[in-house]
């Protein structure tokens, strides 16, 4: 992420116009609010499109949605990731070697939208969106049934095209915050986001961990202090215990590496079994 900081409230308002602030009435926000009403955090699962094949990644995503995931992040493989750990890097490298194309991600999103009641979103570095054309990417995602995009390397002050396209096509903008996020940038990011704010709980790359970082709760509290209505925590979640621990203070719990590892070792069935465990259904 850019280290450039803008400390002026007036500048923040110019970057994030008032008519582009978050909406509480989207499929994504409604699902998280539904989970809150049920007294539990939303379970958010990540899988890369095209791994190990497009067909298997779609089947795995459907299994994830049918076994307890409320929101499914479909990752777009990228050749130069900045925050993916070794398990996800290996999976996306294989997908690219097998000929993955961006349009394959829309195929997986459509499978989730049509075959489960989970809410699908795309997680992608920004370059593939630029290559496809921001408005065109947004249009195709919406047509496939997608609800928004998580953009780990895009910051609000560089997202003017995305603001316009997301409003035009009714998609949520999911930006990331981290332990290193300053107060000024936290305010800016929360104002720009919709659906939920993605709170990174540890510094560094993704991967399962034995314990959830103690920084996670602080990041969530800071995001709420900046006005975030829904905050989901990711990086390091690998067990039902982690889900319960994070769910005590966050609105959603994001699981990635553990699911990708399950897919590689046991196929879509293993993904479904792990999802059921994480959701407390086993």
Q: What is the pLDDT of residue 234?
A: 84
> Which residues have a Cβ under 8 Å from the Cβ of 182 and sit 6 or more positions away?
5
Check the CA dihedral 94-81-237-37 and report its sign: negative
Q: What is the pLDDT of residue 238?
A: 86
CA dihedral 153, 155, 157, 158 (to 10 degrees): 20
**Torsions phi, psi of 76, nearest 5?**
-100, 115
Give the distance between the most distant pair of CA atoms in the chain: 52
- Are the CB atoms for 178 and 219 separated by under 8 Å? yes
State the 10-residue block means of pLDDT for the chain, 282 residues long. 36 44 76 97 98 98 98 92 80 95 98 98 97 98 98 95 98 96 97 96 47 78 97 87 94 96 98 97 88
Q: What is the pLDDT of residue 236?
A: 76
The number of beta carbons lying within 10 Å of the beta carbon of residue 237 is: 29
DSSP E strands, the chain: 42-48, 71-75, 119-123, 148-150, 172-174, 176-177, 197-200, 231-234, 252-255
Q: What is the pLDDT of residue 79?
A: 81
Beta-sheet strand order (sheet of 71-75):
172-174, 148-150, 119-123, 71-75, 42-48, 252-255, 231-234, 197-200, 176-177
The number of beta carbons lying within 10 Å of the beta carbon of residue 218 is: 14
Predicted TM-score (pTM) of this structure: 0.89
State the CATH architecture for 22-279: Alpha-Beta Barrel (3.20)
Active centre residues (catalytic): 73, 84
Q: Among 156, 177, 176, which Cα is nearest to 166's?
A: 156
């Amino acid at each position: 992420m850019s280290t450039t900081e803008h400390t002026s409230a007036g500048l923040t308002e110019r970057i994030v116009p008032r008519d582009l602030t978050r909406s509480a009435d989207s499929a994504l926000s409604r699902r998280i609010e539904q989970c809150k009403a049920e007294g539990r955090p939303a379970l958010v699962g990540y899988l890369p499109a095209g791994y190990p094949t497009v067909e298997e990644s779609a089947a795995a995503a459907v299994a994830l949605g049918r076994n307890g995931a409320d929101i499914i992040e479909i990752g777009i493989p990228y050749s130069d990731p900045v925050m993916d750990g070794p398990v996800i890097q290996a999976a996306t490298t294989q997908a690219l070697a097998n000929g993955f194309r961006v349009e394959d991600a829309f195929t997986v999103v459509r499978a989730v939208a049509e075959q489960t009641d989970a809410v699908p979103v795309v997680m992608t570095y920004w370059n593939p969106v630029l290559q496809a054309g921001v408005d065109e990417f947004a249009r195709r995602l919406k047509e496939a049934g997608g609800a928004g995009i998580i953009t780990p390397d895009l910051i609000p002050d560089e997202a003017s095209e995305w603001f316009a396209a997301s409003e035009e096509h009714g998609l949520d903008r999911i930006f990331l915050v981290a332990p290193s996020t300053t107060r000024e940038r936290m305010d800016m990011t929360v104002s720009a986001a919709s659906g939920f704010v993605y709170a990174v709980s540890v510094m560094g790359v993704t991967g399962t961990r034995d314990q959830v970082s103690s920084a996670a709760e602080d990041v969530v509290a800071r995001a709420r202090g900046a006005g975030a209505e829904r905050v989901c925590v990711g990086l390091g979640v690998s067990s039902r215990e982690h889900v319960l621990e994070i769910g005590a203070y966050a609105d959603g719990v994001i699981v990635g590496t553990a699911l990708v590892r399950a897919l590689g070792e046991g196929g879509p069935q293993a993904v479904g079994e792990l999802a059921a465990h994480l959701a407390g259904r086993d």
